[in-house]
Amino acid sequence: MHIMTVCLGNICRSPAAEAVLLRRLEDAGLTDVTVSSAGTADYHVGKGPHELSVAEGEGRGYAFSSVAAQFAADHFQEADLILAMDASNEDNILALVRGPEDEAKVVRLGAFASDAGQGVRDVPDPWGLPPEAYTRMYDQIEDAIDGLVAAIRDDRIGEVLAGQRATS
């Protein structure tokens, strides 16, 4: 399985989600899952993650190796699951779908959060905000990634996606 995390510029939220997911998958012994990230815009292509995202992430024990890339329709072929950080990112990704198979791969990360039963929350973009915004971002991402890893482990990805589609 290949999972792609996607935000706007691919320097704050999606590389953070990628780093958290890689670590949590390793901790869970799920070695057959690969992870990458991209942004819906080309603002930062070729650049590393934002320094505040890296600082908060490294403080939590995460490692970063990604370089910003822009999401393109070809990514539907390589990814089995595409996790949008917010509704706007999700809309931008869905604008590139080529058919129902592509669309079925797209869901917001918040669908896996512990409070998803109350509605799927967006992961707010912390870019340009103080360090506390990055702390809140990681708290939210870690919660949703824990739910995602549990869904992978318990083979419930399809169930979560179906539930998300029913409430959209």
Catalytic residues: 7, 13, 125
Joined together, the tokens standing for residue 89 give 């990112």
Tell how strand 2-7 and strand 81-84 pair up: parallel
Closest CA to 115 of 146, 88, 81: 146
Under DSSP, the state recorded for 167 is H
**CA 11/CA 124 separation, integer angstroms:** 13
> What Cα–Cα distance (Å) separates residue 71 from each residue in 30, 34, 44?
25, 17, 12
**CA 78/CA 76 separation, integer angstroms:** 6
